[in-house]
Structure 1
Amino acid sequence: MAEAVGPHVLVIPYPAQGHMLSLLDLVHLLSSRARLAVTIAVTTKNRPLLDPLLSRSPAVVPLVLPFPDHPALPPGVENAKGLPLAFFRPLTHALAGLQDPLLRWARSTPHPPTAIISDFFLGWTSDLAAQLGIPRLVFSPSGALVVAVLHVLWRRMPQRSDLDDPDCPISFPEIPNSLALPWRQLSFLYRTHIVGEPISEFIKEGFLKNIASWGFVFNTFADLERVYLDHHRNDLGHPRVWAVGPLAQPDGPAERGGGASVAVGDIMTWLDGCPEGSVLLVAFGSQQVLAPPQAAALAGGLERSGARFIWCATEATAVPEGFEGRVADRGLVVRGWAPQVAILGHRAVAAFLTHCGWNSVLEAVTAGVAMLTWPMAADQFWNARLVVESAGVGLALCDDADAVPDADELARVVAESLGESGKQVRERAKELNRRALDAVKEGGSSYKDLEGLVAGLSKVMVK
C-alpha cells in the first residue's frame, strides 16, 4: 500500500435525499475548512446529486460505481426517492455489493483512504474498514436521541406485551428522560424484522456494527441534545462522539435538494410583500403525499385560520379544487421541491408546519422559526417529542401518517402560532436559534467538535 500523504476520508452516503444532504454538508466542511482530502462514493444515477457540492468544494473527488444487482429490486432503482417501503430493505441490502469494488479501489489508489465516514444504514462498511485496517465513523442523519433509541431496539429487541395492539407502549428506561412510544411509531425496519430471515438479520447486524464503530458524527449541537450526546459517550465507553451541526447554513446553495416548480426569486418576492413574522411555511418533505382527506383538512384549516402561508405540496398531493383561488391574496402553493432553507430564513416566516424530519427540524432551528409538528414516520415521532417537550420550540398539531386533523383545530393552532398566544414559543425558537448559530461559530461547541473530529482523523492516519 502506498504511503499516505495526509488524512484522506472515504465518505459513503446512503442514497436518500434526507440522508445525503447533511452528509454532503459535512463533506463541504471537511474539504474546505478542515482541508482534508475527501472521496465520496456514489452510484451512477446518483452522481448528479453531487453537483451542488462539487461546485463549491472542487477538492472533493467523486468515485462513481455501478449499482449492484439485486433480485428483489425493480430494474433501474438506485436510490430511495419515491421507493415503496417494501423495497427499502432490499435497497439497503443491495448496497453491500459495493464492498468489493470499494476494497479494490482503496487498495489500488495512490493515496489510500485513512478513514471511512458512512451513513448509519451502511453498517457493512465496518467490515470494509476492518479489511483496510482503518477506522470507520458512523454519520447519523438523525439526532442523538433517535440513535440512542435504535441502539436499545437492536440490542434488547423489546417486543409488545400485546401482539394485537399497535398502540402497545414500548419504554426506554436506559435513555435519559425515560421516553416511550407506541409500537406502531417505532422504526419500520425494526417492526418488520423477522428472526432468521437473511435481509432482516443483515440489517440488525449493521446496526450492531454501528455500536462497535470507532466513532460517531452527529448533525446536532450540544445545547439541543447535550443529555443524549453524553448518554452516547457513557454508553459507548469512549469520547469519540462529535456533534458538528447544524450543518445546513443559510449561505448554502439555493438549489439544495432540487429545483423549484416556482422560481426562487418569485417566492422571495412574494415573501418580501408580507409583514415580518406573519407567514407559516407548510412542508412535509419530498416523499410524503397527503391523502385527499388530509389535504382537504389541511386546506380547510389554512383557509379558516386567516393566516398567510406557503404550502409546499408534492406533485401527487391533491390540493382541493378552487382552494388556491380563494386564498390567492394571502397564500402561495408551490408544487414539488421548494427552497426550504431560503424560505425559512426570510424575515416574514415565523412558523413551520413540518413532518419533523431531522433536516427540517434543524433548518427551522437555524432560522429561529417555531414549529407545528405532524410526525408521520421513522425518526419523526422522536424528533417531535424533542421539539415540543424538551426544547419547547413547537406545538403539537397532529400525529401519524394516517391521521386526519380537524380543520377547525388546525386553524386554531395555526392562528395561535402566529399570534400573541404563540409569542413565548416563538421567542424560545429565536433563543435556540442564537445558540445554534453560536455553536457553529469559532469557539462554539460544534466548531470545537469539528476540530476534534479532524484531529482524531489525523491521529489515526495509516503510515
Structure 2
Amino acid sequence: MGPSLEWRTVNKPFLAHTSTVDKRGGHQQNSCGHGQLSKSLQRSRNKCEDLARQPVEQGIHNSRVQSHVWLTYPSSTPLLSAHPTCIETLVLEFPLHPSLPPGVENVKDIGNLGNVPIINALAKLHSPILHWFNSHASPPVAIISDFFLGWTHHLAHQLRIPRITFYSSGAFLACVSDHLWLNADALLSSPVVSFPHLPKAPSFSADHLPSVFRHYRGSDPEWRFVRDCMTANTLSWGRVFNTFGAFEREYVEHLRSQMGHHRVWSVGPLVLPGGSGSLNRGNSNPDSAATDAVLGWLDGCPDGTVVYVCFGSQKLLKPNQVAALASGLEGSGGRFIWVMKAGSLPPDGFEERVGERGKVIKGWAPQVSILSHRAVGGFLSHCGWNSLMEALVCGAMILAWPMEADQYVNAMLLVDHLGAAVRVCEGDETVPDSAEVGRTIAKAMSEDFPQKRRAKELRDEALGAVLPGGTSSRDLIGLVQELVQQRQV
C-alpha cells in the first residue's frame, strides 16, 4: 500500500477546499464556515490551510456552510484542534507512479521536474474522490483546488458542481500562464514572448518564462496531461488568489474581463505576522536559543539597516556564486543576516572579516521573526511568491535575484510595475559582479531610497486589505456568499 495522505504533503497544494451547505432543511446550524480542503503541492500547502481557516476565524458562522478538509500534513493539527466541529478529514493513499521513488510525495524531495509525475499521480485520485462524493450524505457544493490540479475541473463537471481554482501565487502569473498554455505550440519556439493584451504589455525572454512551461514537451503524454490541467483552469467557475487589491488589481480585473464574470477573488495576504496562519507555523523551531541570539543581535541594530539574505528551501547556490555574493555583502559595508542551506559554506575568513556587522545562519532561520524586526529593511530573495508576501506584510524591500519557476514574473511585478524592489542579479547559473552587488545593496539600504518607501506603503495596503471593510475581507465574504447560494439555486 502507498503512504497515507493524512500524514504527508504532496508536491504543492492540492487545496481542494470544497464547501457544502447543510441539506437538512429549515434548521439553521451554528456551523463554522465550511469548505473542503485537500493539499498536496508543498509550497502552497500552508496557504490552502490558511484559506480554509479564514472564514472560521473571521466570524463567518451563520452561513449554513460547512467545511470538509482533506488533510495531508501534521501541521494541520492546530487547525483541526481549534475547530473540531467544522472540519471533516478524508484520508487517501498517495497513488504510485513509476517515476517517483518510494515515499516521495513532495516536489522538494525530487526537484521542480517532479511536478509532472506528481500531477499525473494525483489524477488517479479522481475515482476515489468521485466515490466519496457519491456516498456522502451531504456532499460538498463546490471544489476549490490548486492550479496544478486542473483535472479536478473535469471531476467537478462530472459531479455538476462548480470548481474554483486556488492560486497560492499571483494574478499576474495567472494572466501570463493562461496565454502561454492556450498558445503553447506557437510560443514554445519564440525567443521572446510578448503579452500586448495585458496591462503594461509585458514581454519575457524565453528563459524567463515559468519553468513548468519552458520544460513542456508535447510529444510526452504526461506533459500533455499537465497542459490539459493548465488550460482547464481558464474554464473555472471562479478563481481565488493569495494577493490583494493594491498589489494586483489590474490583473484581477483583466481576469474578470477574460472570464466574463466577477468570480475572481483576492483574499490575501492569507497570513500575517503574529496571526495564527502559516507565517507563525514556519517560525516554530526547537532551537529557541539560536532564535533568541539572532533576534538579540537585531535588537542592537538601528532601524531598517539590516539586509536579510535567503533563497528559499530548495535553491543551493554554487560555490562561485557564494563567493561573489560574500564579496558583495562584505563590500557593501552594511549589516546583514545570511541564511545558508546545509551543504553551503561561506568563504574562508569571511565571518571573521565582517565581524559583528554580519551574521551567517547555517540551516533553519526564524524568517518571519527576522523580517518583521524593526532593524530589517531589505530582503535579498529569489522572489518566490511566499517570500514576497512575507516581505510585503513586514514592510521589507525586496532585492531581487530571480532564478527559476515563477520568479522572473514576480520580480517584474515588484521591480518594474510597482517600484517596490530592485534587481541585484538574474539567473540560477549567473555569477554576479561582486562590486555591483555591493554598490546596489549600499544604495538600496539608504534611508531615502524610493523603493524602500514604496515597500512600506504596500505593507500598509496589505494590512488594510484584511481589515473589516478591506478589499480582501470583502472578497472573502463574497466568496462565501457565492458558495452559500450554490445550495439555494
How big is each residue's C-alpha offset from its partner over 1:67-105, in whole Å with a ceiling of 9 and x where there is no partner? 101111111111112313343211111111122222222
Alignment pair present for 1:283 and 2:273 = no
Is the 1:282–1:309 Cα contact (8 Å) retained in structure 2? yes
Matching residue of 1:397: 424
Give the CA deviation at 1:9.
1.9
Tell me how far 1:62 sits from its aligned partner.
3.4
Pick from 149, 158, 178 the counterpart of residue 176 of structure 2: 149
Q: 2:132 aligns with which of 67, 91, 105?
A: 105
Residue of structure 1 in register with 2:268 after alignment: 245
* d(CA) in 2 for partners of 1:370, 1:416: 12
Match of 1:38 among 61, 67, 72: 67
The aligned residue for residue 409 of structure 2 is 382
- Supply the distance in 1 between the matched residues of 2:47 and 2:327 (Cα, whole angstroms): 34
CA distance, structure 1, for counterparts of residue 363 and residue 341 of structure 2: 5
Is structure 2 residue 376 aligned with structure 1 residue 357?
no
Residue 375 of structure 1 and its aligned partner are, at CA, apart by 0.5
Structure 2: which amino acid aligns with 1:416? Answer: K
Per mean C-alpha deviation after superposition, the further-off stretch among 99-108 and 172-181 is 99-108
Q: Within 2, Cα distance between the matches of 1:291 and 1:159?
A: 35
CA contact (8 A) 1:12 1:41 kept: yes
Q: Which residue does the alignment assign to 2:51?
A: 26
Q: List per-residue Cα deviations over 1:255-311 (Å, max 9, x = no partner).
A: 327647674333322221211111111111111111111111111111121211111
Letter in 1 for 2:237: W
Partner of 2:238: 215
Cα pair distance change 1:2/1:110, threshold 3 Å: farther
Tell me, yes or no, if the aligned pair for 1:123 and 1:209 is still in contact at 8 Å: yes
Alignment of 1:49-198 (within 5 A): 49-58=75-84, 59-157=86-184, 159=186, 163=189, 168-198=191-221
1:88-145 Cα deviation digits (max 9, x unpaired): 2111111111222222222333432221111100001112222322211100111101
**CA distance in structure 2 between the aligned counterparts of 1:199 and 1:90, rounded to whole angstroms:** 7
User: CA, structure 1 residues 55+375, in 2 after alignment: closer, same or farther (shift >3 Å)?
Assistant: farther
Which residue type is aligned with residue 295 of structure 2? M
* 1:221 partner amino acid: F
Q: Which amino acid aligns with 2:352?
A: G
Between the aligned residues of both structures, percent identity stands at: 43
What TM-score do the two structures reach when normalised by structure 2?
Answer: 0.87
- For 2:345, the equivalent position in structure 1 comes to 318
Matched residue count: 454
CA RMSD of aligned residues (A): 2.3
Return the alpha-carbon distance in structure 2 between the equivalents of residues 338 and 100 of structure 1.
41
Partner residue in 1 for 2:320: 293
Q: Is the 8 A contact 1:30 1:38 kept in 2?
A: no
Give yes or no for contact 2:209–2:409 (8 Å, CA) kept in 1: no
| Maintained 8 Å contact 2:21/2:66 | no
> Is the 8 Å Cα contact of residues 38 and 70 (structure 2) preserved in structure 1?
yes
Deviations 1:174-209 (A, max 9, x none): 211111111112122222222242111111111111
**How big is the shift at 1:462?**
7.2
Match of 1:461, SS state, is helix
Deviation at residue 359 of structure 1 after TM alignment: 1.1
> In 2, distance between residues paired with 1:278 and 1:75?
46
Q: Secondary structure at the match of 2:40?
A: coil
- TM-score of the two chains, using structure 1 as the length reference: 0.92
Query: Could you list the runs of 5+ residues in structure 1 that have no partner in the other structure?
Result: none
Contact preservation (8 Å) 1:13, 1:20? yes
Which of 17, 20, 23 does residue 4 from structure 1 map onto?
Answer: 23
In 2: Cα distance, 1:269 partner to 1:229 partner: 41
1:370 aligns with 2:397: yes
| 8 Å contact kept, 1:8–1:111 | no
